[in-house]
Structure formats: C-alpha cells, structure tokens
Structure 1
Amino acid sequence: MKYINANKVLPENLIVEIQKYVQGETLYIPKPETRRRKWGTSSGGRRMLDHRNEAIRNSFRNGSSIQQLAEEYYLSTETIKKIAYSHKQ
C-alpha cells in the first residue's frame, strides 16, 4: 500500500473536517464494497484452487479414496472430505 499526501488529493475543507478526528496519523480509507475483489482473483490463486478442487472431486467420483487424495494433494482427510462432498460443479 503506498502513502499519498492528503494535501495532494483532497479538498482543503475535507482535510479540515478529517483533522477534527485524526491529526498526523496514517489513515486507511477502504475501497467501496462494489470495488473490492474476492481473494485470489488478481493473482490467479483462486482459479488455481478451483481447478485443484475440481480435480479432487472428479478423482473422488471416479473411485479414489479420501486417504489417497489426502496423500496425493498433501491435505488433511477432513479438508479432502469438505472438497469432495461440496456441491460445487
């Protein structure tokens, strides 16, 4: 996260109003809910996990055991169960 000086981007009257609450501190202003991205959408991590989970579900449907999948994917048997029994297609 980069630092931006408020004097360069905000009108003076807004800075005066903000100074009633905070002075000389770093203030984080979050994005609106509509602009937020879900975890992993920028990096591709979410897509990678979705592909892995689909492969786990397919293998389970085709006869692989929970234990075999746990060993193959280095995940706990409980995690494999959650993935294998989920209703995502």
Structure 2
Amino acid sequence: MKYENAQHLLPDDVIKVIQQYIDGGYIYIPRKAGRRTSWGERTGAKAEITRRNREIYERYCRGESIRQLSQRHYLTEQSIRRIIRQQKPKP
C-alpha cells in the first residue's frame, strides 16, 4: 500500500468534508468488499511461505533435525515445531 496525496485524487469539496473529521492526518480507505485480497496474494508472499512450510515438513519427514531446519530457514526452533505441527496430515 502506498500513500497518495488527496489533492491529486479527490475534488476539493470531498477533501473539505474529510478535513472536518481528520485534518492533516493519515486515513486508511478500505477496498470495496468484492475487491479484497487476503494478505500476500498480490505479492506472492503467501504462496512462497506455503511452499517453504511444505519444504520444511518434507525435510523433517526425511530426517532433518529441527535444529538444522531452524538454521537453514533462519527461524526459531519453536517456529519450526509449529510449522511441522500445522503441516502434519489431520487424522
């Protein structure tokens, strides 16, 4: 998300109405309900983390230790344990 100058986007009368509520501050305008995306979808970060977590679980199943996985992925051992727990198939 980047900041835009309202004077470049909105008509003066709209800016004056907004200034009655917040004068000179920052305001977040949410996306329309049908156009929302969840975190990481636009940048691909969500898919990359999902791929990384699958890889961690697969390496763990092949015998790599939690400590080794922690060092390889620069995560705490607690984070590695959480990822493994989340990746395990549900019975």
Identical aligned pairs, as a percentage? 26
Match of 2:6 in 1: 4
Specify which structure has the higher proportion of helix: 2
Tell me the matched-pair count: 86
Q: Which runs of 5+ in 1 are unaligned?
A: none
Computing the radius of gyration over CA atoms, which structure comes out larger, 1 or 2?
Answer: 1
**RMSD (CA atoms):** 2.8
Alpha-carbon distance change, 15 to 4 in structure 1, aligned in 2, over 3 angstroms: closer
Cross-structure match for 1:55:
55
Question: Where do 5+ consecutive residues of structure 2 fail to align?
Answer: none
Measured in 1, the distance between the counterparts of 2:44 and 2:19 equals 39
2:81 counterpart letter in structure 1: K
Matches within 5 A, 1:1-89: 1-5=3-7, 9=10, 12=13, 18=18, 20-23=20-23, 25-32=24-31, 34=33, 35-87=35-87
